[in-house]
Structure 1
């Protein structure tokens, strides 16, 4: 035989060897991927794991079974065994990825779709509780109302400078864990500390349908006082484990907060491959915000009221600068979102409360379209029912409003002197969002003169 040519048998053996190497190479890639995913998951959950043990179901979902890779004697002896192991390992990798990321296997069979993570980003007295209900009322969304309240109450940061950055980073990292359904992260901030994952002090639990429905709503316990109890049914203390498991079973996750101001700090969440973030920034005329805060937080604005009515007291410069800082942080975040940087494109929406108040259902559909979620008839029915409530029949925290009538009531409650102060320090933000200045008291109180420029709801495609 010519030594320069391989025999048919040698060629066949070579091909067989190459097939084996190719299989092993592909298998190695999947094993490495599993290790990387496992390592990332361990790092991310380390803080929470120090505090509380995660549910067994989640731990099992993130584990690997060496029996899927190796035979009894520790080696793969044939291509058929390799094919079988390869298929099983690929399936396990997909399941683990679904558990860690934007979608996951449900308890019952369904057509898998992308799991959205919606953040409603606002400031106090902008109507965020009302708008948050648009997502709270949808049965396939796990909704949380102001969970960062616990962090603000527990971790002290002075406003401004490095401390403001520090607080933003803490808020961001807690947000990430919450969007991953790691609700245990909150247990270190709830006071008094939960025992056995049970707490009676989850802030505004009653504002989250997901925390007040089965199976999270456990049988009522007599003589156990729950500060923020469920509104429409009696439940036992919140079981954080049941809440975390319920979160995983929902198709989507939504959260509203008034404690995140800097959009740029949210970039790691937007770029996290396990999340499919949609950020909705809600803004409102700062004159209306001040008028509302003077009612809701009356004691904090006594100096403002006295200065406006008597003119004798000096308006606190620190308060004026705080108002300026709030307006500027909102404006800078909105400008960043509207610039459409690559990392934020398609994931940021700016919407004005006034537009929602005038056309709530239309704008709710716009928000759902932006989030990539189909709105249900239940949400539409809730909006129709709760945006036509009788005037003056609701408290300051109510989510029932005659929205088309009430959104301009502030024009008759704020003294013109205070409106002027707001206009002077918040002018750039008002210009960006399309809020017109009032040149005199008559303009301010004349409803036939609109103080709102017509702007279409903006979201990036």
Structure 2
């Protein structure tokens, strides 16, 4: 009996030991699984978006870790902090460097007298000038062709402004080595100040066949550009709103907004073959709507960026070239020198003390068809109301060149157009 009782007691003891061991291992395994899951969460978290997430590190405490081991957790870093976000990086900065020349954009439209006004603005010896810098880019985008760069791989764009805005940004800040191939290969590039610095360096070739050499040549052009006090870019292919981000990022950027009466503008476009008679009303409506939008945006710029946008009219410049050129130079912070005065005289036949008539600028009024005038006037009513252009209701009105085509704009917009 004693022996049987001892056997039973021993058996119970063994069972208890086995049961205790099983329970202990189960609890330990559960703790280990919990800890492993939490660390797996950290690895998963480090590869996901950081926004609107609870930080798993806050859920961990010292009781989760074995005090005999030192656990090192890799800091969580966002893709931007890792330097993976590189597209348009300079525009993400608060401001861009302003140590180079003061950038001035002559913003206007095709056949608006922009070449003439551009010649006035580039007359100063301290001004670096570039002519239609995004012209070739527009046609490259239309062909859906990739844009090649001197300092980065080729890129394909679906939207013209996606490439035009960064190009203007880098150009007006003299960063020529960052510009795309079409800028240098366009025939308009030859009208830019010191374009010969690049073309001579590039073996006098307009096309770029050696990227490394072209990059070196662009760097030399950047050095030349930085020697000037002002940078003027004549641009007709971009809406005014596309410059808003540049106005924010480049604190000394200024815009001269050049307007011209839509009637001679469209007439000139027709003679140049850009507008067909059968599409006249559609083209005129599109054009005047674009100018109207730019005028409205200019008013917004004047509120956001005081003293950084100036509106001028081609007709006023033709009549009073010295007065208006002085105003543009004062606005842009450029020096009006004897050389500038001589250039005005050469372009206009006028001097400070002797003025010529503006018959050349008004000659179109003597032969223009009245049906054309009515088409433009009826298509551009909203713009006329905004800036003060006047309807020419009779042939006598349009033929009388002494009669102004523009009056003061109303003190408020026509409520019917709101």
Superposition TM-score tier, normalisation by shorter sequence: 0.5 to 0.7
Aligned residues: 302
Q: 1:442 aligns with which of 390, 396, 409?
A: 396
**After the TM superposition, which of the residue ranges 419-428 and 244-253 deviates more from structure 2?**
244-253
CA 404–220 in structure 1, closer or farther in 2 if over 3 Å, else same: farther
* 1:36-435 pair list within 5 angstroms: 44=88, 101-104=97-100, 115-156=101-142, 166-189=159-182, 201-212=185-196, 218=200, 239-261=217-239, 263-272=240-249, 274-297=250-273, 300-301=274-275, 303-304=276-277, 315-316=278-279, 319-339=280-300, 342-388=303-349, 404-435=358-389
Q: C-alpha displacement at 1:167, in angstroms?
A: 2.5
Note if contact 1:436-1:452 (Cα within 8 Å) is conserved in structure 2.
yes
Note if contact 2:199-2:206 (Cα within 8 Å) is conserved in structure 1.
no
- Paired with 2:186 and 2:165, the residues of 1 have a C-alpha distance of 19
Q: C-alpha displacement at 1:141, in angstroms?
A: 1.4
RMSD: 3.5
- Paired with 1:155 and 1:335, the residues of 2 have a C-alpha distance of 28
Note if contact 1:143-1:255 (Cα within 8 Å) is conserved in structure 2.
yes
Give CA deviations for 1:165-220 in whole Å, capped at 9, x if unaligned. 93234322221111121223443335xxxxxxxx6x343234223324xx557489
Structure with the greater alpha carbon radius of gyration = 2
CA 356–46 in structure 1, closer or farther in 2 if over 3 Å, else same: closer
- Paired with 1:283 and 1:157, the residues of 2 have a C-alpha distance of 30
Q: C-alpha displacement at 1:258, in angstroms?
A: 0.6
Give CA deviations for 1:301-329 in whole Å, capped at 9, x if unaligned. 4x51xxxxxxxxxx33xx52332122112
Note if contact 1:388-1:403 (Cα within 8 Å) is conserved in structure 2.
no
- Paired with 1:209 and 1:358, the residues of 2 have a C-alpha distance of 28
Aligned structure 1 segments of 4 or more residues deviating by more than 6 angstroms: none
Q: C-alpha displacement at 1:157, in angstroms?
A: 8.6
- Paired with 2:301 and 2:178, the residues of 1 have a C-alpha distance of 32
Gaps of 5+ in 2: 1-79, 145-156, 208-215, 351-355, 410-418
Give CA deviations for 1:256-291 in whole Å, capped at 9, x if unaligned. 011012x2221110111x451111111101001011
- SS of residue matched to 1:150: helix
Note if contact 1:149-1:203 (Cα within 8 Å) is conserved in structure 2.
no
- Paired with 1:225 and 1:169, the residues of 2 have a C-alpha distance of 28
- SS of residue matched to 1:260: coil
Give CA deviations for 1:304-361 in whole Å, capped at 9, x if unaligned. 1xxxxxxxxxx33xx5233212211211221232355542221111111000110111
- Paired with 1:346 and 1:250, the residues of 2 have a C-alpha distance of 22
- Paired with 1:413 and 1:210, the residues of 2 have a C-alpha distance of 41
- Paired with 1:333 and 1:362, the residues of 2 have a C-alpha distance of 25
Gaps of 5+ in 1: 1-35, 48-96, 105-114, 159-163, 191-198, 228-237, 305-314, 390-401, 456-461
- Paired with 1:155 and 1:329, the residues of 2 have a C-alpha distance of 21
- Paired with 1:187 and 1:167, the residues of 2 have a C-alpha distance of 13
- SS of residue matched to 1:351: strand
- Paired with 1:226 and 1:174, the residues of 2 have a C-alpha distance of 19
CA 185–203 in structure 1, closer or farther in 2 if over 3 Å, else same: farther
- Paired with 1:293 and 1:439, the residues of 2 have a C-alpha distance of 23
CA 166–216 in structure 1, closer or farther in 2 if over 3 Å, else same: closer
- Paired with 1:119 and 1:282, the residues of 2 have a C-alpha distance of 10
TM-score, structure 1 as length reference: 0.58
